[in-house]
Structure 1
Amino acid sequence: MCPVKYSHIIILIAHSKTAARILSEMFKTRTINKYYKALVQGHPDAPQTLDTPLEDKKAITKILSTNEQTDNAYSLLDIQILTGRKHQIRQHLADIGFPIIGDRLYGSKPKGQTSNDAVNLCLTAYKMSFESPFNSPSQAKHYELGSEFYPHYSHKDTSNQ
């Protein structure tokens, strides 16, 4: 099962109002690249771009790659979002028939499970990259969680750690 009751994420913290304003503008103009790992049942095609509008707004999700997991029943997807809509990744993957394991709203329960209640959402914000405006000349910044934080599922694991 996904090992925790919450998703792992990378966060960016500003230590001044000026930095907060600059970083906010970078998110708004989409100059910060955001990457996620999602565990789904089955094997979607990759690479592919999902661009179904959400709530009448542009939404773009890219599945960059897929790696088969656990007896070839699951895939760990590497995803980049180019927009930031609420539940964007979750909705886009569900729309193409590959909802994220443990997603109680858009829903996929693991093979052999009768409900999603014992399984946590298998989605991790694992990488962020951008050109830092705080250095002169600007420097490429890259932050990434270790693979131990990536979502995983083991049908032998029945605990909710």
Structure 2
Amino acid sequence: MKPAIIAETNDYLVINKPAGMATEPPSDRPTLRDWLIEAGQIRAGEWAEDKRCGVVHRLDTDTSGVILWAKSESAQASLQQLWQGRQVKKTYLALVAGRSEQTGVIEAAIERDNRNDRQRVTHLPTTKSRSAITEYKTLGHAKVGEREVSLISAHPITGRTHQIRVHLKSIGHPIIGDKLYGEKSSDEISRTLGLKRQFLHAFSLELPDNKTYQANLPSELTEPLRVLDLLGKI
């Protein structure tokens, strides 16, 4: 599946990134940056090396959904200020193991796991950890065999690496299909549903000027929701 440009302004592109594609190098997977260069949407030679060809924010490789990409260095600086100032409302959809509470706020610091350099863990605040806050709302519940699952709308207030994945795992609700943070229960549900990826999708971005951009769910995520009768809950 290829990326799709959802919208374009004078300052930025809005893109629906597929799962399996990294945002930028270095990566052993295809990257969104390289796709934009090949598609003629950006020109690498026009950017200073430290500007990374217009990256504003990133999505995990196996997370699909909406992402903004700056078209100039001045636009990049302005957009990054919005992210750093927590002025952008981000909404993700996640299917998780277990029956989640109706609403909640997860406030737990995150740091790199000393046992696995790829992983992050929640931790009491230390000099190495970074504060992290995720708000969530449960949209619906369903059963997969004898196990329950919940469809969640997650709103990360901060933007730490793997934040939603780590936070949901920390409250006992790992994301279905998450190979890094999954547990036995979520792995079994993933196999039953035939999921080949983690069920985490960046659904929408709302900017301070009230512009909202939404990325439709890909078919590999809508089909499990249809089977579980949860598609209408979005």
For the aligned pair, the TM-score class normalised by the smaller chain equals 0.7 to 0.9
What TM-score do the two structures reach when normalised by structure 2?
0.55
Alignment counterpart, residue 111 of structure 1, candidates 189, 202, 210? 189
Q: More strand by proportion, 1 or 2?
A: 2
* Match of residue 140 from structure 2: 67
The alpha-carbon deviation at position 64 of structure 1 amounts to 2.1
Q: More helix by proportion, 1 or 2?
A: 2
In 1, distance between residues paired with 2:141 and 2:91?
A: 19
Please list the CA deviations of residues 105-142 of structure 1 after superposition, one character each: whole Å capped at 9, or x if unmatched.
Answer: 1113133849xx963111001110012xxxxxxx3110
Kindly report which structure 2 residues correspond to 1:10-89, keeping only aligned pairs within 5 A, or say none: 10-55=66-111, 56-69=129-142, 73-89=148-164
In 2, distance between residues paired with 1:13 and 1:112?
A: 32
Q: Aligned letter for 1:104? A: K
Q: Whose RCO is larger (CA < 8 A, sep 6+)? A: 1
**Percent identity of equivalent pairs:** 31
Instruction: Give secondary structure in 2 for the equivalent of 1:90.
Output: helix
What is the number of equivalent residue pairs in this alignment? 144
Gaps of 5+ in 1: 132-138, 157-161
Gaps of 5+ in 2: 1-18, 21-61, 112-128, 228-234
What TM-score do the two structures reach when normalised by structure 1?
0.77
In 2, distance between residues paired with 1:103 and 1:76?
A: 15
Q: CA RMSD in A?
A: 2.8
Change (3 A) 1:148 1:63: same
* Max Rg structure: 2
In 1, distance between residues paired with 2:94 and 2:164?
A: 9
Alignment counterpart, residue 146 of structure 1, candidates 193, 197, 216? 216
Contact 1:37–1:150, Cα closer than 8 Å, also in 2: no
Change (3 A) 1:149 1:16: farther
